[in-house]
């Protein structure tokens, strides 16, 4: 399925994140949408991990996932098959969260006009800010058990203006 830039919505992004989440984490707690502004801002829950990837080509974007420590830890353990008592090294988190954003980014890219190319992922402890030439096109706040996470898709300002013109 390919859609126009104007049609990239929270619904599309939510569907992609949910599919990836369910596949990687199996039958655990479901993701649910929470309305911003929220008192469950990931950044308010202590330390966070950000995982980012960029798309270049016919459609351009930066996709950033922000996960509090507890979520990052649980996702990494699930993906690597680690038991609760197993020690997680920062390298484990970086690799697993990089793959998570790679798969989410690739599936969002597949909804948009191509051809376009994914970068290699970037993962950091703390916030990753997209280039200042990008503007936020979609922000999704999701609850997962007592935790929350955030997915932000940013696009070049001129691409965003085109989208708004199409919507008008």
Partner 1 sequence: MHALIIDDSRTMRTILRRIVTELGYEVTEAGNGQEALDALETGIDVDLCLIDWNMPLMDGYTFVTRVRAEPRWRSMTLMMVTTESEHGQIVRALAAGAHEYVIKPFTPEAIVEKLELLGLAAREVPA
Q: For partner 1, which stretch binds (CB under 8 A), given 41-49, 79-87, 146-154, 160-168?
A: 79-87
Tell me if 69 contacts partner 1 by CB under 8 A: no
Q: How many residues bind partner 1 (CB under 8 A)?
A: 25
Tell me if 14 contacts partner 1 by CB under 8 A: no
Restricted to residues 117-156, the positions that interact with partner 1 (CB under 8 A) are: 118, 120
Rounded to whole angstroms, the Cα distance separating 148 from 54 reads: 23
Q: For partner 1, which stretch binds (CB under 8 A), given 39-47, 72-80, 144-152, 153-161?
A: 72-80
Tell me if 159 contacts partner 1 by CB under 8 A: no
Restricted to residues 100-119, the positions that interact with partner 1 (CB under 8 A) are: 102-103, 105-107, 109-110, 114-116, 118
**Residues lying near partner 1 in the complex (CB under 8 A):** 19-20, 23-24, 76, 79-81, 92, 95-96, 98-99, 102-103, 105-107, 109-110, 114-116, 118, 120
């Amino acid at each position: 399925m390919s859609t126009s830039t104007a049609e990239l919505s929270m619904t599309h992004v939510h569907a992609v994140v949910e599919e990836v989440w369910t596949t990687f984490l199996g039958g655990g707690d479901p993701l649910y949408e929470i309305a911003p502004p929220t008192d469950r801002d990931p950044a308010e829950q202590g330390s966070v991990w950000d995982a980012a990837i960029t798309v270049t080509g016919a459609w351009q974007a930066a996709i950033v996932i922000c996960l509090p420590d507890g979520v990052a830890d649980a996702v990494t353990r699930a993906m690597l098959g680690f038991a609760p008592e197993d020690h997680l090294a920062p390298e484990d988190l970086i690799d697993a969260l990089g793959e998570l954003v790679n798969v989410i980014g690739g599936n969002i890219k597949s909804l948009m006009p191509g051809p376009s190319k994914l970068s290699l992922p970037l993962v950091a402890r703390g916030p990753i800010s997209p280039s200042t030439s990008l503007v936020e096109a979609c922000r999704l706040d999701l609850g997962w058990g007592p935790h929350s996470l955030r997915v932000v898709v940013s696009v070049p300002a001129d691409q965003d203006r085109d989208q708004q013109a199409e919507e008008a």
